[in-house]
Amino acid sequence: MAAVSSHAGMLSGSYRVGMDIKLDGISHHYGHTEVLRNISLDIPAGQIVCLVGPSGCGKSTLLRLIGGLERPGNGRVLQVGAPPADSLNPLTFVFQDFALLPWRSVKGNVSLVLEDHGIRGKRSKAIIDDVLNRTKLADFADALPKQLSGGMKQRVAIARALAVNPAVMLMDEPLSALDAQTRELLMDDLVALWTRQPFTAVYVTHNLAEAVRLGHTIVVLSRRPGRIREIISIDTPISERRAGDPVCQRKHDLLWELMREEARAADEELIDG
């Protein structure tokens, strides 16, 4: 039976700050197509869990199931512990295409999600100032999206997500619409943001360099139906990871091997089919 449920303190037996997500035997079909098979996974509070896997293996589907946009055919998404007391939206998405309103300024786009919750005036201003500072957008509060670069637009989308103080950010290829240089800069920004104030995220990406730079844990899904092929942890603190760092390079090479096998098998299936 499918379920999305909240169990405060289930892990420790007492109230705890922060909310973990626990995936318990998730499977999902679209019609006759089996998309995900028996996914069990812990997403601990304060960590970034990256999901990688070949195209079409079900990464975005899994994110939607975690976010409650769809219900899994089988298995459960458990919320363990409590979201922050002032969280307006515990599970908040950040998409690749920014999804900003073009006629609203930077601060107008952020204030919109607060208005939706009846937050206006001084309280709204304090939240907007905080998230624009954290995303280095304070000087651009009055700019319109069309005046901003792609990287800055995505920073606005991240600021908007932070404004609701989410327990978990669900990030679906947030950097993949950006050029390589902008991606690097935004990765630095995400590292700085997390280092100043750790957040919890499930981060879908095709880009292994992003996964190795940002992930505390990297989950490799197999080709469809997506199963957990491997879970790779990186102990190096994310603020200390550098390009060419031997530990990160080894993890990158291992990921690439796994991905290459899965992508090749997926390609062959397409040719056969």
Residues that bind ligand ATP (CB under 6 A): 30, 35, 53, 55-61, 224
Exposed / middle / buried, residue 169 (Cβ in 10 Å: 0-12, 13-18, 19+): buried
- Specify whether the CB–CB gap between 191 and 111 falls below 8 A: no
Q: Which is nearer to ligand ATP, 61 or 124 (CB)?
A: 61
Beta-strand runs (E) in the chain: 3-7, 18-30, 33-43, 48-52, 74-82, 91-95, 168-172, 201-204, 217-221, 228-233
Q: Which is nearer to ligand ATP, 19 or 168 (CB)?
A: 168
Q: Alpha-carbon distance 50 to 89, whole Å?
A: 21
Q: Alpha-carbon distance 17 to 126, whole Å?
A: 23
The nearest distance, CB 169 to ligand ATP, in angstroms, is 17
The nearest distance, CB 273 to ligand ATP, in angstroms, is 12
The nearest distance, CB 52 to ligand ATP, in angstroms, is 9
Q: Alpha-carbon distance 63 to 171, whole Å?
A: 8
The nearest distance, CB 206 to ligand ATP, in angstroms, is 6
Q: Which is nearer to ligand ATP, 57 or 212 (CB)?
A: 57
Q: Which is nearer to ligand ATP, 61 or 217 (CB)?
A: 61
Q: Which is nearer to ligand ATP, 10 or 263 (CB)?
A: 263
The nearest distance, CB 266 to ligand ATP, in angstroms, is 10
